[in-house]
Amino acid sequence: MTCAEPGRVAALLAASLLAGCGGMADDLFPSSRDRSGGQAGTVGPALGQTAPDFTLAAAAGGEVTLSTELVGARGAVLYFTMWCPICDGHMMDMQQHLIPAHPEVRFLALDYVSGSAADAAQAELSAGWAGSGFTTLADVGALQARYFRTFMAVVVVDRDRVVRFRGEYDPAAVERALAALPPLAEVAP
């Protein structure tokens, strides 16, 4: 074995390992765009997968179930917030541009830092978002944030809970996802 051969062997081994990772190479070059793409018809957090139905306590009282929120809607925006200045900026942009442009879409703010619905209500009030276009939900224990593997970010689901976008808040990308949601079905007279 010559001196150059161990280097070639190591490079060949590394290439073989990466080739066998089945799409994990995307993780080596992260971006704000979710390229994970899941298998359609399966439940999961990836693009194309069906988000699981969940029920969370609402800051305004009671509980909100995702599938119930989607009745009569084209889809929903799940914004995972911790009420920081960055989150405030994202929510402000959505309130000014996306909510008025998409009245048939539900906007849910999932508070993943408060420990209860009462704490989420207080955080929402303190941050100035009480009575806004968002329905604030208490994601106690960050269960949904961990499931979707997203914090201070957005998930867009259609009325069938299919994940259409998942990633950092990018106004243009979220707008494209919302514009691509299927229209509401026409109701026969």
Quick one: CATH architecture of 31-179? Answer: 3-Layer(aba) Sandwich (3.40)
HEC string for the chain: CCCHHHHHHHHHHHHHHHHCCCCCHHHHCCCCECCCCCCCCCECCCCCCECCCCEEEECCCCEEEHHHHCCCCCEEEEEEECCCHHHHHHHHHHHHHHHHHCCCEEEEEEECCCCCHHHHHHHHHHCCCCCCCCEEEECHHHHHHHHCCCCCEEEEEECCCEEEEEEECCHHHHHHHHHCCCCCCCCCC
Task: Look up the pTM and report it.
Answer: 0.78
The structural domains of the chain, with segments of one domain joined by +, span: 1-30, 31-179
pLDDT tens for the 189 residues of the chain, in order:
555 555 554 444 444 444 444 433 333 334 444 445 667 788 999 999 999 999 999 999 999 999 999 999 999 999 999 999 999 999 999 999 999 999 999 999 999 999 999 999 999 999 999 999 999 999 999 999 999 998 999 999 999 999 999 999 999 999 999 999 999 875 445
